[in-house]
Amino acid sequence: MSQTPRWVDDIESRARGLPVLLVEGEDDVTLLGHFLGQHATDWQQRLYLAAAGGKAHVISGVAVHRSDWLGIVDRDEWSIADVQAVAARSSRLHILPRFCTESYFCDPAELWSALPAQQRARAGDDLPALAGPIHAKLPDWVAHGAMWRVLRDLYKEARLPAKLEDSPVTDEATIRGILTDWHARFAPDPVLAHYHNELGNAQTLAEAAQLHEYIHGKKFFNQVVVQVLDGLFAGKGADDWLQKLRDALIQPPPDLTDLFNRILAQLPQTGPHE
């Protein structure tokens, strides 16, 4: 039986008997904790929110080390099949409805509703002044999202072929055939064909789905949304805007509300163990 990792024991000690909800990083703790507070004011008496230090730790924490814990992982570039495979490991593992937490600050319509009235007035009470520059960048970032998915698939295949790892293979002709097939996966033409197929599928999505689920939310927010907001309202960069927008939202977006309801329904009804 494998030894429990120290990070698991550390979180369990800090939780002091409360059910644990694992998220990937400290930024997720800040944002999701803020939204949880809007949704359920007593959440800190009901569960302990902790950063596991990455997606793999969240998954192993819930699926391997502590089956009574809960977890939220970013959707990232996962396909529907990837999401289903992870969900099948534990009903207590939940997938963020959007690419990442920053994706909640990439949709111009949602951003506009979060801005104070005086700031909207500075933009002439004109949503297109905000939405236009953001949407203009979207095609390039959808292409980036398609390539991101293709590259992540390649990263998965970059490991040595399982046929050579799992059991001895000594026939050199067989080895050569396996390696030739493995090498062909990284040739430019197959990669570009995969990219064109992925991009074609992405371009059929509605703009909201592209902004919420497809583009890399953190990169898009930092490189596009922040520049547009700074240009309109003279902000102070990504961290400043994240805090302002987070604090301005008076309730969680509906997809987060649904997620929180599913998580809170899985908590023990008797409270923390004595």
Report helix, strand or coil for 167. Answer: coil
Where do the structural domains in the chain lie, given as residue ranges? 6-102+254-264, 105-248
Helix extents (H) in 117-210: 117-122, 127-157, 162-165, 172-184, 188-202, 207-209
> What gap in Å lies between CA 14 and CA 145, rounded to an integer?
38
Q: Are 225 and 105 in contact (CB under 8 A)?
A: yes
Segment of 120-124, 143-147, 159-163, 237-241 carrying the highest mean pLDDT:
143-147
Which residue in this structure is represented by tokens 């409805």? 97
Cβ-contact 259, 96 below 8 angstroms? yes
Q: Which CATH topology does 6-102+254-264 take?
A: Rossmann fold (3.40.50)
**pTM of the model as a whole:** 0.85
Q: How many CA atoms lie within 13 A of 142 on its CB side?
A: 23
| Per-residue pLDDT at 138 exceeds 70 | yes
22-46 pLDDT, tens per residue? 999 998 999 999 999 989 989 999 9
